[in-house]
Chains A and B, each alone.
Chain A
Amino acid sequence: MMLALLLGLSFNTWAQTMEVSGVVLDDQKMGIPGASVIIKGTTTGTATDIDGKFFINVDKGQVLVISFVGFKSQELTMDGKTHFDVVLENSAIGLDEVVAIGYGAVKKSDLTGSVASLDSDKLTEMRKTDVGQAIQGQIAGVDVRRVSSKPGAPLSIKIRGNTVITNTNVDNDGVTNDLSRDLSKPLYVVDGIFLDDISIIDPSNIKKMDILKDASATAIYGSRGANGVVIVTTKSGIEGKTVFTYDGSFGITSAVNRPDMMDGDEYVQFVKDGVRGKKWRTLWETENPLAEDFDNIDITEELESQFRSSNGETDNIANKRYTDWTKEFLNTAIQTSHSVGMSGGQNGMVYNASIGYLKDEGVIGIEKYERYTAAVSLSKKVTDQITVGIRTNLAYSEREEGSRELWRSLHRMAPTVSPYDENGDPVLFPDDQESRFLNPYYDANGSWEVNTRRTDVIANFYVDYKPVEWFSFKSTFAPNLRTIRLGEYRSLKTKAARNQQSRTRSIYNTMFDNSYSWDNIANFDFKPFEDHKLKATLISSLYYNQIEGSNIQVRNLDSDSYSFYNTAGGDDVRERDSYYTKQTLASFAARVNYNIKEKYLFTFTGRYDGSSKLAEGEKWTFFPSAAFAWRVSEEDFMQDFSWLDNLKVRLSYGEAGNDAPVKPYASMAFLSNSGYLFGNSTATGKTVENLSNEKLTWERSKEYNFGLNIGILNNRVRLDAELYQKDTDGGILNRELMYITGYSSAVGNYGELRNKGIELVLNTVNVRTDDFSWETSINFAKNKNEILKLADGVDQFLYGKYGILRVGESVDAIYGYEKDGIWQMSEAAEAKTYGAVPGMYKIVDQDGDGAITGDKDKVVLGSNSPDWIGGITNNFRYKDFDMNVMVYTRQGAYGHSEFYEHHSPEDTNTSFNRVDRNYWTPTNQNGDVQLPGIRPSYGNTFFTEMSFVKVGNIGLGYNVPKSILNKWNISKVRLSLDVQNPFTFSDYKGPDPETGLQNSYNMGYSLKTVLFGLKVTL
C-alpha cells in the first residue's frame, strides 16, 4: 500500500502549481453560487461563492471541470491564464448529471439500466408535504396512489405494477390499504439507509431522487430490489460557502368533489320508493303489477316508523326543515410549514443542518398531522485519503385520525333529522329509527381519538478511504430506530360505544423497530486499455432487523377522562400480547461497469443473498444481471445528423429475488392457543395453526428491459422509452386451502406472474427566449399484469372479498356478476325465470343455463390495476415569474366501491341518506341504479370503474429580481401560490376515485389546498 501511495504522490511532485480565479455565470450573466470546480481526475476542488466566484490552486496542464446541476459542464485547460469567466449553458438533458445507482453513482450518459431521476427543484416545485405526493404523476411507471385522504395518510407507491401475487391483507379485493403490510412497495434507500416508508423525510431536504426500475439497475440490491428501488440523497453542504435558507408556507385546505347526497325532498321520496320497493318483489309472486300499481302500494304504516314524530322528524318534513349533515360539520383547515436550514464548510469540513415543522389539518372532526424533522450531515476530510462523515435524519410526527365513523355517519344521517334540539343542544340519538346512531356531533368534537406518535432516527456513519486514484473503500454503518405508538380511545359518546360503558374502548399499542445495515464497498477504477474504462464495485452487506412490541385493548372503561392513557381503567381485557421478530440478510455483491470509447457500455452485476426467513437449506441464492448500452449518436457515422443530439439504446436482463411476501418463521408450523373450559375450570389447549413448508425459498423475477433515449433539436425534444417484461417464478403466495384441510391457507413458492409494459417520457422545450420559456413533460406508462400459474393443479382461488386469482388474469382481478342494465317492465316474464322482477339488475347468465349460479356465472369484471397511468406537467417562465400545471391520470382501474355499498340507493335500508344517483322505479324506467328496497340478491353489485383525471397542482411563482436582492445581500427570495388538487374529472360519484377502494369507514374527503409559500436564501 505504501508503495502505491508513493506512486500516487510521485505523480504530483513535478507539476508546477499556480492560483487561478474565475467567476461562473448563468445564461443571464448572473453568478452561480455553489457550482463545483474540480480538477479533472482528482477529488480536489472547490465551490463557487455567492457571487459565483472561485479560487483554486492548479498545476499547469491540468483540466478544471466546472459543473452545476441543470447546466452543461465545462472543461478549462490550464494554459497559464489565471482568470476565467465561465458561462454555463442550460442543460435541458442533463447528460452530465450524476445518477445514483446504488452503492455508487454514474453519469447519466453512462447509464445502462432504467433509472428515472427527480431533482430538488422538481420535488419542491409544487410544495407538497409528502415525498409520495411530490412525485405523483411525474415519473413514468411509478404509480402513486392516495389510499386515504386523511392528513398524514401514507401513499401507495408501486413501480411497474403489482409484483406480488398475494398480499397479506386480503380484506378488500386483495388490495392492501394498510401500507405497512403492502408487499409490492419499493425499497427506499435514503443516504444508504434502507427504509420501508419515506413519509418521514421532508421533501425540501432532498437533493435528488433516483428511481431504479429494471432488474439490471436494481440487481445490486439483489433480493431487496425486486419491487424497484427509490434512492434518496439528502442535501449536504458546499465548502467555502455558508448558506441560510428559510422555506415556509401557509395554506387553506377545503373539501373538493364532495359526493352529492340527497337533499330532504329527495330523501323523503327515496324512503317512499324504498319501502314500496321492498313490497314490489313479492307483489310479483302473486300478480303482474303495472307500473302505476307501484305508487299505489300502501306504505302508510311503514312511513310512520320511518319518520317518527317523537324526535320531530314529521314536523321537519312538513316544514321542509332539513339538515345538510355533511355541510354542518365541515371545517376549513390550515396547512402550514416552516423549515430553516444552514449549510457550508471549510478546511475539508462540510455541513448541512435543517429543522422543519409541518402542520396539516383535516376538514372534519379533529383530524390533524404534525411533523417535526431535523437533518444534520457532516463530513470531514481527515487526510487526503480519508473522509469520515455522518448523516442523520430525525423525525417526530403525530397523526390524529379522529373518529373512524364520522365521515360515514355524516353521509348516512337522514336530512329529516336534526343534530340539535330546540335549545340548540346536541341530541344523543338524532334518529329514533336508528338507535345505534349516536349524534356525530360528538365524534366531530373529538370523542373518538386515533392517535399515532412516531419517532424515527436514521443515521449513517461512514469512512471513505481512497489511497490511490484507482481504488477506494467505504464502510458504512447505518442504524435505523423507529418507535410507533398507536393510541385509540372510543369514549361513551361515539357511534361505536353508543353511550354504553361496556362498549368504551381503549387501545394502546407500541412497536420498536430497530435495524441496522453495515455495508463495505470497494471500488476499483481502471483503464486497462486506451479508450477502455473499467469500474468494479465489490460489496458485502449485512442487514439486521428486530421488531418487538405489545398490544393492549380493554373495554368498559370507568371514566372518559383517561383517553387511551390508562388501559387499567377498563376491566374487560380483549387483547394483551407482546411479540418479537427478527430477520437478517447477508449479501455479497459485485458490479462491473465497462466502457469502451464512451460508446459501448456494459454492466454486469451479481449478488449472493442469504435470508433468515426462508426454510433451512433454502436460504442462499445468487442473482445475476447484465446490461448493454450503445450511444449511437457518438458514432462517427452519426456526426452528419446534426439535429440528433443524443441517441442511446439499452438492453438489459436481470434477476431479482424477493422474500418480502413471507414473514419471519413462515416456513415453520406453530401451535396456537385454543383454551377451553371444563365446568368452570380453565384448560389450556393447543391446535396446530398452519402447515409447515420446508421448501420455502426465494421468489425470483427475471426481467428484460429495452430502453431508448433520443434527444433532438439541440436537446429541446427528448424522448425516453422503456419496454420491459418481468416474469416472476416461484412466486410466494398464500395458497387458499379447502376447508377440509382444517387450514385456511398455506404459504409457498407456487405462483408465476408476468408484468410487461411500456413507459414513455417526452420532454419538450416549446419556447425558449430570454424572457419566456415553456417546457412540457409528458409521461405515460402501461403495465399488464398476468398470472401464469397459481399452483399445481389449481388455476384459481377466490381472494379477499371480491377478488379472484385466476391464471390468465391480473392479480388484482375483481370477480362478480356482470350487470347488463335493469330488468324493464316489458321483460317481466323473462326476469321471472331468473327469479327477478322488473327494477332489479339484470345479471348476465354467462353459461346460458337459465339460472344465475355462483360458480358458473361470475366473471372477471376488471382489475384494480389501471390500464395506464400518465401525467403532464407544463412549466412556464416569464421573466421572474413562473407557473406550473400538473395533471395526472389513472385509467381503467376497476374495483368494488365501499362508498356505493354503503351510500348508493339500491338497498333495503331506508333509514340512511344516500348519494343522489338516478335509481329505477316503475315510473322512472330510465334509472340506471336498481330499485331501492331490493338488496341485490345475487351478491354484491357495487363494482365500478374508477378512472380519473386530476389536476394535481396549479402553481405560480415569483423570484424577486437579484438587482433588488443584492442591496440586501440576499441571494434568493421566491414567493409562490399553489392550488393543490383543485379539480377531479371522473364518472365516479364517490368522494374521490383515487381512494375509491377504501372503506367508507375511516374515509375522508378529497382535499384541496391553496398554499402561499415563501423561500429565502441568504
Chain B
Amino acid sequence: MNILGKIKYISLFAVMVGFSACDGYVEEENFTNLTGETYLTEDNADQLVVGVYQSLRDIYKDYDIAFYGTDIFTSTKKIDEIHSLNEYFDINASDESISKHWKHNYEMIANANVVIDRFEEISWSDSKLSEKAYGIAQAKGLRALAYYNLVQQFGGVVLELKESKTIKDDYERSTEEECFVQIIKDFEEAIPVLVNDTDFGRLSKKAAQHILADVYMTRSYKSFAGSDDEKMAYELAEASIGTYDIRSQSFEQVFSYDNQENNEILFSVQYGDGGEYEDRDNNKHVLFRYKLQDFAGISRQTSYAVGGKGSRPSQYLYTLFADNDTRDAVTFHRALLADEESAYESDNGSEVINPGDTVVYFPMNMLPDVELANGLNKYWVFQPDEYFFDEKVDVDGVLYQYSNRNIKYPFPIFKKFDDENFIESEDGGGGHRDTYVYRVSETHLLAAEAYLKAGNQSKALEHINIVRERATGDANHYTSITLDDILNERAVELAGEENRWNILKRTGKLEERINLYNAHVMHHGKFDSHNLLRPIPEHEIFLSNGALKQNPGY
C-alpha cells in the first residue's frame, strides 16, 4: 500500500479536525445572570445594603421561638395534648422553628458581611465616601442585631465577621460575653454614622440606640455585666426617645392601617401592596387566631383572614387589660361579625345571617344572666372564664341560632395585626402590613426597667406611667413598681410585638411565670433550666464534625 496515499487521507482528516478545533468553542455565554465583579460600582453598591434588609423578613416571621412557652402565649392544642416547644416537652436539636431562626439570622449576617467587605473593594470617588461609610454602618447595625437575636436564644454563637469565600466547617463558638462585646462594638461604630432623617425602614440612629440600650439591659443581668450597663441602657433609651412624646398619637392611631409610617415606629419590617410578591407576603395577621371560616356567615375573604398559625394568647393576657384600657379594643376582636349572607339550619329552624350580624361575642367582663341568655339566643357568647382549650359544650336550654357547630378553642382573636389588604393563600399569607419591631413606647418601658434595676424608682415611674397614660388617660397609675409590673405593662402594650421569650429570659422570670400563667405548661410542662438556651440546630452540629459544641442538656 502506498504510504503517500495514506498520508493524504490522514492529512485530509487533519484538515477537518483543524477546522472544528477551537478553544473559543467551549467558552461560556451568559445572559441570564450578573456577577458581582462586573456589576457592582459605587453607583449601585447600595443594592447590596438593600439585600441585607430583605433578610429581616424571614427573621421576623419566626414567631414560634418568640411566643410559645411564655406567660402570655400558649399552644392551640387541647389542654392534655403536647406541643413540644410550648411545654418544653423533649425539645430537640431538630426542632424546625429553632433551626430556622438560626439560619435566618446567619443569612442576614452573611449578607451584611458581604457589604462590609465588598464596600472596601469597590473604588469610591471622594464625593461618595460618605455613602460608603453609611452603607457599612447600616450593615454593621443589622449584623449586630442578628447576633443579638442569636445570643439571646442560643448563648455564645460563632462570630463570623467576613464574607464566606471558601468552604469552611471548623467554626467554633465564642462565649456569650465575647458576642456581647462584638455586638456593642458594631453598634458603637455604626451609631455615629447613622442618621434619623432617612428612608422609612432603614436602620436609623434612634433605632440603633434603642437596640443598643436593649443589649446593655440584657447584659446587665449577666454574670459578666458591665458596671454601668443599666446607666448605658437608660441613657441610650432616652437619647433614642429624644423629644418625641408618645401621647401625640393614640394607641389606636399607631395601629391604624393607613398610618404604618408614623413617628412612634423606630424600626419595622417593610411590606406594601406594590412591588414583588415577597413585598406583599407578610403573614403576621394570621397569628393568634383560629379558622374563622368555620363559622356560618364568615367568609375566608374578611379582614379576619385565615387564621390558626402558631400560638394563642393565654387566659392571663386577657386579664391584664384593665376596664379603662383603650388598648383592649385595639388589640382584640371582642365581636366577630358576619360578612356574607348565609342561611343556616339550627335548632330554631332555618335562619339567615346578614353581613354585619354578630356571630360570636366575647364580653370583656362577665355578662349578667339575663343579658347572656339574650345573647345566646342570637349568637355565641363566651364569658371571660370560658376561653377553653377544649371544644365548647352546649349550654342547656339555649338556642344557638347562628351555628350549632362545635367551636374549637374560643378566645378573642388578635386585631392589632389585621390586614385589610391581603392575598389569601395556603397559610393565609400575603398580608401587606408592616411588622413593627421597635416602637418608642417600648423604649420607655426599657428605660423604666433600666432605672428600676439601677434603683431609681422615680425615673422608672416617669417612663412607665407615660405609656399607661396614653392608654388610659391616668397619668399616675403606678406609684411604685416591680419587675413584674414592667413585664405586665409590656404584655399589654407590646403583645405579639416584643420577643416575649427573650424578655422573660433576660429578667429571669421565664420559669416562674410560665408555671403561673401558661395552662399547658401547668398541666404537663417539662421546663428545665437547660431550656434557657435553645439547642444548636442538628444540621450545624452534624456538618461541623464535632467542632461546634451543643448546648448542655440537648
Contact = CB atoms under 8 A, between A and B. Distances in A.
Task: Bin chain A's interface residue count.
Answer: 35 or more
A742 interface: yes
A1 B5 contact: yes
A233 B335 CA distance: 75
Interface string A1-42: 101100100000000000000000000000000000000000
A613 interface: yes
Contact of A735 (B49, B110, B167): B167
B16 interface: yes
A503 B31 CA distance: 33
B17 A854 contact: no
Given A677-B275, A738-B544, A939 B9 contact: no
B406 A687 contact: no
Given A579-B32, A739-B102, A793-B545, A574 B277 contact: yes
A572 B408 CA distance: 33
B109 A679 contact: no
B364 to A, nearest CB: 28
A737 B47 CA distance: 25
Nearest to B408: A305
Contacts of A526: 1
Nearest to A935: B82
A158 B2 CA distance: 48
B102 to A, nearest CB: 6
Contacts of B477: none
B93 A685 contact: no
Contacts of A291: none
Interface string A835-874: 1000000000000000001110000000000000000000
Interface string B31-69: 111111001100010011111111100000000000000
A794 B540 CA distance: 12
B160 interface: yes
A1015 interface: no
B524 interface: yes
Contact of B33 (A282, A619, A668, A736): A668
Nearest to B543: A738
A8 to B, nearest CB: 10
A760 B70 CA distance: 65
A677 B391 contact: no
A4 B36 contact: no
Given A282-B81, A668-B35, A854-B92, A584 B47 contact: no
A302 interface: yes
B113 to A, nearest CB: 8
A503 B425 contact: yes
A738 B547 CA distance: 12
Nearest to B49: A685
Contacts of A574: 277
B515 to A, nearest CB: 16
Determine which residue in B17, B49, B51, B111 has the highest number of CB atoms from chain A within 10 A of its CB, and name it: B51
A793 B169 contact: yes
A139 interface: no
A974 to B, nearest CB: 46
A680 B30 CA distance: 33
Contact of A502 (B48, B164, B425, B537): B425
Contact of A664 (B28, B50, B165): B28
B13 interface: yes
Nearest to A574: B277
B50 A742 contact: no
A556 B34 CA distance: 32
Contacts of B227: none
Interface in B523-544: 523-524, 537-544
Contacts of B503: none
Contact of B25 (A281, A586, A685): A586
B540 A586 contact: no
A738 B169 contact: yes
B378 interface: no
A584 B110 contact: no
A90 to B, nearest CB: 40
A854 B540 CA distance: 12
Given A304-B406, A687-B111, A855 B20 contact: no
A435 B545 contact: no
Given A665-B28, A742-B164, A794 B543 contact: yes
Interface in B106-151: 106-107, 109-111, 113-114
Contacts of B391: 301-302, 305
A587 to B, nearest CB: 10
Interface residues of B, number: 115
Contacts of A285: 80, 524
Contact of B53 (A278, A572, A611, A685): A685
A579 B80 CA distance: 53
B49 to A, nearest CB: 8
Contacts of B404: 310
Interface string B169-202: 1110000000000000000000000000001111
A405 B5 CA distance: 69
Interface stretch (B266-274, B365-373, B410-418, B478-486): B266-274
Contacts of B395: none
B39 A671 contact: yes
Contacts of A742: 106-107, 109-111, 113, 164
A736 B170 CA distance: 14
A741 interface: yes
B245 interface: no
A740 B540 contact: yes
Interface in A742-759: 742-743, 746, 748
A500 B35 contact: no
Contacts of A520: 13, 16-17, 20
A351 to B, nearest CB: 29
Contacts of A357: none
Contacts of A7: 2, 5
A738 B540 contact: yes
B110 A741 contact: yes
A610 interface: yes
B90 A835 contact: yes
A676 B270 contact: yes
B542 A798 contact: yes
B294 A665 contact: no
A556 B274 CA distance: 16
Contacts of A582: 28-29
A701 B279 CA distance: 47
A522 interface: yes
Interface in A866-922: none
A679 B270 contact: yes
A330 interface: no
B345 interface: yes
B81 A278 contact: yes
Contacts of B300: 500
A612 interface: yes
A682 interface: yes
B167 A739 contact: no
B424 interface: yes
Contacts of B16: 475, 520, 540
Contacts of A556: 423
Given A613-B28, A742-B109, A522 B9 contact: yes
B512 interface: no
Interface of B: 1-2, 4-6, 8-10, 12-13, 16-17, 20-23, 25-36, 39-40, 44, 47-55, 78, 80-82, 84, 89-90, 92-94, 99, 102-103, 106-107, 109-111, 113-114, 158, 160, 163-171, 199-202, 261, 270-279, 291, 293-294, 300-301, 345, 390-391, 393, 404-406, 408, 423-425, 523-524, 537-545, 548, 554
7 contacts: A282-B81, A305-B391, A470-B1, A582-B29, A585-B26, A671-B33, A680-B272
In the A-B complex, the 10 residue pairs with the closest CB atoms: A742-B110, A685-B50, A678-B199, A282-B80, A687-B51, A679-B200, A670-B33, A685-B51, A739-B103, A674-B54
Given A676-B201, A679-B199, 5 more contacts: A281-B82, A282-B82, A737-B543, A741-B106, A854-B92
